[in-house]
Amino acid sequence: MSALTAVLYGALAVYLGGWFLGQWMGNFSLLLFVLTLVTMLYWLAERLRFRPARLAAAAELEATHARRRDELARQGITQVDGDVAAARDKLLAQPWWLDWTAGLFPVILIVFLLRSFLFEPFKIPSGSMIPTLRVGDLILVNKYHYGIRLPVVNAKVLDNEPVRRGDVVVFRYPVDPRVDYIKRVVGLPGDTVAYAQQQLSVNGEPVATAAQGEFYDDDGLRYTPMFGEKLGEVEHRILVNPRQPSYFGPLPKHFAFSENCRYNAEGMSCTVPPGHYFVMGDNRDNSQDSRFWGFVPDDHLVGRAFFVWMNFGNLGRIGPFH
């Protein structure tokens, strides 16, 4: 078993090393599920076989020692050299390969359950959600807000709250589901979303905005006009330059339900199909979102983002957001 455990840890090291070096794309949910399953098997083996065997060996050692003392006592020998306590402790000690597998099972199980059904941490990698979220923000995502989903396969088994306009959601990128994205929900199933001349409209109604000065981008070293926007019941801030023309590339890529969208020199308009959502970044001029690659299927949703729990460069960022 020690050799098998060493092989398993070696395979884990190779997988993590290749993931870190960019040789392949990792799947943390699947990895955590496999680790939970493997450590559970070791934990069961420890409880049902290995630990009872160690206890039986220790009991046999103590019984043998007691019989020897009794035999020597019958011969009139009362001073017996040797102490079985050290030997007994050695027999009962858990070997390293069980300590690093069965011993870790409770911790890995708790992490797996918390991450799969309650809250999952994410790190903001880009500026597409500025000013709401900044690069380096460590956020929490509510995994059960929209319903309970099975881990790994992401199949919903229980509904909860519906998705609402204005929600900030984490989802699996439709172009490459191995990658997680974060954007704001703009359009629900059946909505017609238009973005023309830097103005967002939903179902023919322009979304109200109000100027809120300028935002200074520390990374880009420039100021960008900032506006307050209200989507549904959610009030938040966006960055958009009204003087910058809408641009979606020379020809938008084909994507599922692309026939629901129309593009022209002024902008675009899409009707959201059933079971899908239209999402956009709050940094409207610097966000790759549904305007470019299409709609987000409901089964791609991971959860609703709601709290910045750490930003090592700016502790003032900690707190809830809209």
CA distance 293 to 254: 8
Residue 165 · residue 184 · CB < 8 Å: no
- Choose the catalytic residue: 183, 246, 287, 290: 183
Q: Classify 305 as helix, strand or coil.
A: strand
Question: What is the Cα–Cα distance from 71 to 69, expressed in whole angstroms?
Answer: 5
Annotated catalytic residue within 128, 246, 287, 290: 128
Residue 197 zone, left/alpha/beta (φ > 0; ψ -120 to 50; rest): left
**What DSSP string describes 93-125?**
SPPHHHHTTGGGHHHHHHHHHIIIIIEEEEE--
The CA distance from 289 to 314, in Å, is 27
Bridge partners (DSSP) of residue 261 are: 270
Q: Assess contact for 282 and 130: CB atoms under 8 A.
A: yes
**How far is residue 197's CA from residue 180's CA, in Å, rounded to a whole number?**
29
Q: Dihedral angle at the C-alpha atoms of 206, 256, 131, 207, nearest 10 degrees?
A: 10
Is 128 marked active-site?
yes
Tell me, yes or no, if 183 is annotated catalytic.
yes
Q: Cα dist. 113→73, 148, 178, 183, 186 in Å?
A: 58, 12, 20, 25, 31
**Residue 29 burial by CB count (10 A; 0-12/13-18/19+): exposed, middle or buried?**
middle
Rounded Cα gap, residues 214 and 197, in angstroms: 19
The answer to whether 163 touches 234, Cβ cutoff 8 Å, is no
Q: What residues are annotated to the active site?
A: 128, 183
